[in-house]
Structure 1
Amino acid sequence: MQRQMMASAVTLGQVQQQLATVADNIANVGTTGYKSRDAKFTDLLFQQIDNMTPADVDRTDATNRLTPSGIRDGSGARIGDTSLDLSMGTIEQTDNPLDLALTNDHQFFTVNHGGATVYTRNGAFNTQPDPNNPNTLRLLTKSGDALLGTNGQPITIPAHYQSLQISSSGAISVELANGTRVNAGQFGLVTISRPQLLEGRGNSLYALPNLAQLGIGLNDVVQPVAGNAGSVAQGRLENSNVDLTKEMADLINLQHNYQLNARSISIGDQMAGLVNGLLR
């Protein structure tokens, strides 16, 4: 009885974690460039209890049954993995020259976040005057982080420009007020070959863990996008890839699972009370 209650209690904690994952997906259904996560359950340690020897088992039953004889006593379930879904969200036309979408689902923009290089697919960018040079503008994310170019340095463009064009490779071309067109750099696009290593940092930013501790080289995970292989679409934004219908269905199922396990603990406690009453 106690083992059954412990297994249910352990599973309750894991169901709560998956509920948090689903709730996070639902909360970000309108977040530009957000990628949903999906939690998968696996069994904890279990014990196979065999009370019958092969000689005691009916031969006909042993031949026809599809499951092993005996009882498998488990310890509950846990979340084995939370996978990141990199499938494309819908592309929305905005006609804002600073709105960019990536049409390749494994490509990312590089961003300087607190001195560390992180990655994002949220292409809703804006500009801000450079405090060190009033004649230039810094290209930033909505949260104020600097976008990085192919040289690993923050991207700046001339102030008081007349128009701005960005090619599919991420090259930035600016037309000045006098009609002169100048090259203002290129976005540092990268391809993430092992996206399941990415860890969320909020504001649609993703970072990699300490790869050295995992025995993995950075070049094995992050590769710069070749100049002709970029997938930048100017004047568009990629919406969240959250499937609200699926998330709501998962939420209902998880609530039922939570209620079932909570009810199991309650019934187990009542039965233990009855047994204790009989022994007095």
Structure 2
Amino acid sequence: MNMNHLLTINKSGINGLQKKLDITAANIANVNTVGYKKNDTTFTELLHNANTPDEVRIANAATNQSVNRGVAVSNQSVNFIQGSLSSTTSSWDMAIDGEGFFGVRDANNQLYLTRAGNFQRDAQGYLRTNEGLQVEVEETIPQNQWPNGDASVSANGVIIIQSNGQSVTVGRVILYKPENNENLRSVGNNLYQAVDGQELIQSTNQQEAFGRIHNYQLENANVNLADSMTDLIVSQRAYSINLKALETSDEMSSVINRFTE
């Protein structure tokens, strides 16, 4: 086997496991982030290279005349599995039990999707995220004219505010669904965007297919801390072994080079 092959294989293992460690660490760090969706990684074997006649076989009886070039992270994807729900004391907190997403817009009117429903009204009366993005609402009354009072949000998103002994319907929270969750890309801050050309389906008053909205609740991160810690330990050990193998391969290469001087 060519010594360069050994170095390449060990290097690919270190690079792949470093990505796995980074992703696992990010999942663990966000275990308490509202609506966070963990990232999964998939590894794949790299292509085989045929051995040449002048290369040393691993064993005389070896019949496999090729060696692969190591491993690579073939896919990093967001896992959109439902997280558990927890109760809160804020009437503007919402959680989706289902496949839909809240729609939020930035100052440039760019639409993003999120599962984090920890909203609040700003000084002008608009419903916003913690980062200041405006929540998509089908308004019955303009948001800056909504009365002050205790709010309730129905399962299909209808917002009712109790004010001066009256129940005022002010609007409806709009939910969105992509054609396929794989068509969403993460842009940070728990926000997602549809890949160019992919259609987003908007909910109507009958939005059962998008999920039920639970008021006074938030969706927890879908990170399983025990599984993530296990992945972290296994990846760390594999990383250390690959690093040691790389050092050994380098030492062997140095010895061989001295023989050929």
The 1-side partners of 2:143 and 2:133 are apart by 13
| Root-mean-square deviation over aligned CA pairs | 2.4
Give the gaps of 5 or more residues in structure 1. Answer: 52-60, 62-67, 131-136, 212-216
Provide TM-score, normalisation by structure 1. 0.81
**TM-superposed deviation, 1:34:** 0.4
- Aligned equivalents of 2:196 and 2:178: distance in 1? 15
Cα separation, 2, equivalents of 1:24 and 1:165: 34
Q: Any residues of structure 2 matched to 1:181-196 within 5 Å, and which? A: 181-196=167-182
2:128 counterpart residue number = 140
- Displacement of 1:5 after TM fit? 0.1
Quote how far apart the aligned CAs of 1:108 are.
0.4
Alpha-carbon shift at residue 49 of structure 1 (Å): 4.4
Return the alpha-carbon distance in structure 1 between the equivalents of residues 220 and 24 of structure 2. 18
CA distance in 1, matches of 2:146, 2:64: 77
Kept in 1: contact 2:146–2:170 (CA 8 A): no
1:149 equivalent in structure 2: 137
Q: Does 1:227 align with 2:214?
A: no
Aligned 1:81-100 pairs, distance under 5 A: 81-100=75-94
Counterpart contact for 2:147–2:161, Cα < 8 Å: no
Q: CA deviation at 1:50?
A: 9.0
Tell me which residue corresponds to 1:259.
Answer: 240
Equivalences for residues 89-238 of structure 1 within 5 A: 89-104=83-98, 106-115=99-108, 116-130=110-124, 137-150=125-138, 156=143, 158-177=145-164, 179-211=165-197, 217-218=198-199, 222-228=200-206, 229=208, 230-238=211-219
The 5 A counterparts of 1:55-66 are none
List alignment gaps of at least 5 residues for structure 2: 54-60
Secondary structure of 1:262 counterpart: helix
Report the CA distance between 1:92 and its aligned residue.
Answer: 0.6
2:4 is matched with which residue: 2, 5, 9?
A: 2
Q: Report how far residue 160 of structure 1 moved.
A: 4.7
Q: Displacement, 1:170?
A: 0.7
Aligned counterpart for 2:31 among listed residues 29, 32, 35: 29
Alignment: residue pair count: 248
Q: Could you tell me how far 1:112 is from its partner in structure 2? A: 0.3
Number of the residue aligned with 1:274: 255
Q: Which of 197, 222, 237 is equivalent to 1:241?
A: 222
The whole-number CA distance in structure 1 between the counterparts of 2:174 and 2:83 is: 22
Residue of structure 2 in register with 1:13 after alignment: 15
Maintained 8 Å contact 2:120/2:128 = yes
**Counterpart amino acid of 1:129?**
A
Give the Cα separation in 1 of the matches to 2:24 and 2:143: 38
Is 2:178–2:194's contact at 8 Å kept on the other side of the alignment? no
In 1, Cα distance between equivalents of 2:172 and 2:66: 59
Residue 42 of structure 1 is matched in structure 2 by 44
In structure 2, what is the Cα distance between the partners aligned to 1:158 and 1:150?
Answer: 14
> Is the Cα–Cα contact under 8 Å of residues 50 and 69 in structure 1 kept in the other structure?
no
Looking at structure 2, the residues matched to 24 and 264 of structure 1 have their Cα atoms a distance apart, in angstroms, of 27
Rate the CA distance shift 1:242–1:160 in 2: closer, same or farther, 3 A: same
Q: Residue 100 and residue 147 in structure 1: after superposition, are their counterparts in 2 closer, same or farther (change >3 A)?
A: same
Find the residue that maps to 2:66 and give its secondary structure.
strand
Cα separation, 2, equivalents of 1:162 and 1:175:
5
Tell me the SS of whatever aligns to 2:92: coil
The letter for the 1-side match of 2:183 is L
**In the TM superposition, what whole-angstrom CA distance separates every residue of 1:67-97 from its partner, at most 9, and x where no partner exists?**
x942331112111111221112111111321
Q: Percent identical across equivalent pairs?
A: 26
